[in-house]
Structure 1
């Protein structure tokens, strides 16, 4: 069973993008950042009726 439901890509408390998983996958385009450097991003899966919410940082 592939997860479905909504997700968010966050930088700190700011939501950069959000979307919906289809068959466990999603494709997004991140906004351009003003400076070239490392950015810590967090992916937040908001859950669905069948799968609990979760998150991961990179």
Structure 2
């Protein structure tokens, strides 16, 4: 299951992109592809164990 904070957006409010980009709703920033791999639990990664952003938001809720 992918991170609940991960979104894919085609624009940033000012400009549009040629393809969707990974966006972290927790930090309100676009993230690089490697970070999105963690968010999507690819390559035996798990966002609950490997993402400090998810962990800090999960603790505060």
> Which category of TM-score, normalised to the shorter sequence, fits these structures?
under 0.3
- Higher strand fraction (1 or 2): 1
Q: Could you tell me the TM-score, scaled by structure 1's length? A: 0.21
Higher relative contact order (Cα pairs below 8 Å, separated by 6+ residues): 1
